Amino acid sequence: MSMQNTLKLAHPNNSDVITSERRVAQRHTMSGRVTALRSEQIAGDRRNCICSLELMDMSDAGVGAQVAEPLPIDSNITIFFPPHGPERGFNLRGRVVRCDPTETGHQIGVFLENKIAA
């Protein structure tokens, strides 16, 4: 298992912050739209919401996607991958760890609870 370390200086117009990224798993570019079920606790009640994700990348530890509306950090999410041809569909459960605004919506990062089998 290789560890990738990347340091980059943020754009001077944004801030003078150095960000560090340490990914343990290799990411693979993905594309396609999938359905997800988001679950969060609001005022003691559990609330489930269906949303659409546009996949960007995926690894055995996480998923990167674009969404229309922001998703709360630490909300639980189940991503549904439908069957394709003879292949069975599968579901991945995880937690939203990042949600950044973009020009076309929000980019999220999901840390997976159930890892993808190699």
CB–CB of 7/20 below 8 Å? yes
> Within a domain: residue 67?
yes
Q: Classify 43 in phi/psi space as left (phi over 0), alpha (psi -120 to 50) or beta.
A: left
Count other C-beta atoms under 10 Å from residue 95's C-beta.
15
Give pLDDT tens digits for 66-117: 999 999 999 999 999 999 899 999 999 999 999 999 999 999 999 999 766 5
53 in a structural domain? yes
The pLDDT assigned to 69 comes to 93
Considering the domain boundaries, does residue 11 fall inside one? no
Per-residue pLDDT tens for 31-69?
899 999 998 777 778 889 999 999 999 998 999 999 999
For the chain, how big is the Rg over CA atoms in Å?
16
**CATH number (domain holding residue 35):** 2.40.10.220
What is the mean pLDDT of the segment spanning 6-14? 46
Q: Does the residue 21 lie in any domain?
A: no
Indicate the number of domains in the chain. 1
- Whether the CB-CB separation of 63 and 90 falls below 8 Å is answered with no
Range of the domain at 60: 27-112
How large is the average pLDDT for residues 2-7? Answer: 45
